[in-house]
Amino acid sequence: MRADAEFFETTADARVESVPLAHLSVELGHFYSPDLRQDEEFFIDHFRRIGIWYSAARSACEAMVPRGNPRISTCVLIDDYFGQPASPSALIRKLRDAAGKAGLEIDYLVRESGCAHTVAKVDPDPAEPVETAPPGLSLAHLVEARLVEDPPPNSTGARPPVGQTGWLCNGQRSPATETHEAMKRPTVWRPPAENAAVNHSIFEDIELWRDGPDGRLWSCAMLAAVWQLLRLGLLRDNGRRVAAPHPLPGDLPDNWRALPMVLQLNERALPFNAYRAMTICAPLFLPVENAVRTILQQVAVDPAVLAQVGGRARDEGVALPLEVVDRMEYLFVDTGPVRGAGPG
């Protein structure tokens, strides 16, 4: 007897789960603990100030989408990682009422700690089954695993990798100038240099996390990078969709972390994930968002996911930039009284 065997590459059958996609996701607010303690008038003022810019974002999207019928969803991000907000029932009601009085509607509310902590098992409403990330998954670790550093030309590898230091940069640091062994000259100072500088360098060195006795503390910049990739529908866990939206439960718990990461507040909302992401925020967020762009330029998004999203855009006649960072847009505007830039 002759035994015939067939061999297949395991990656040949790899399946990338698709997600529903809007044309544009508009972030109406990224609220830290000091913000979340404010009264309703604070949020009404915030949403009124950005309302005109939301209308402008809608008009711009209409002009870019074939047949001028864009799918647009809105979201807010709340900080339950560096601080603990008021109970979900009180805060969600306050945010929704304030947005409504300003003529806006919040489609999705997202917990920032969901970008960092491992996912707990959450049972969806059996009447509206949704997919969720598998328990034990940390989206920040998922992104960390896809970091591909951009070494400067002629580098020697003397700088430890980002996985050891928790720091990522876009070029060459200045060398240390202290004196070393006896009879040796001190190192000559040199300026830092950006890898892709245009005429002059804009050098960034970004702390992604800090490991301590209580575990890992992720930085604002790293969590915001995870957040942007999630909005753009580009995060997968071995091809599986992560952090799908859940309908707002009838009975809200007192603890935010007992809730899913993404809550759908509006039953008629269009998809949470989108081809492009627009963030409307105060200028004080500019340093963090600039760091986010540097981080994402060194994240190797799954090519199969990029191909899937790109193919769907082409099928719809949507022009989608090849570079992920070019799918992110910002409006830095006055959103109200100046607050702290938040922890991180």
First to last CA, the chain: 67
* The pLDDT value given to residue 204: 80
* The pLDDT value given to residue 229: 98
Residues 6+ apart with CB under 8 A from 324: 229, 232, 234, 296, 299, 301, 306
* The pLDDT value given to residue 119: 54
Cα–Cα distance, 143 to 237 (Å, whole number): 10
Predicted TM-score (pTM) of the model is 0.85
* The pLDDT value given to residue 3: 44
Q: In which residue are the tokens 């969806």 written? A: 124
Cβ–Cβ under 8 Å, residues 296 and 208: no
Those residues of the chain that have pLDDT short of 50 are 1-13, 120-133
pLDDT digits 0-9 by tens, 67-99:
878 999 999 999 999 988 888 999 999 999 999
* The pLDDT value given to residue 339: 60
Q: What is the 3-state secondary structure (H, E, C) of 37-106?
A: CCCHHHHHHHHHHHHHHHHHHHHHHHHHCHHHCCCEEEEEEECCCCCCCCCHHHHHHHHHHHHHHCCCCC
* The pLDDT value given to residue 131: 38
User: 3-state DSSP call for residue 263?
Assistant: strand
* The pLDDT value given to residue 125: 42
Long-range contacts (CB closer than 8 Å, 24 or more residues apart) made by 151-159: 152/193, 152/195, 153/195
Cα–Cα distance, 19 to 230 (Å, whole number): 11
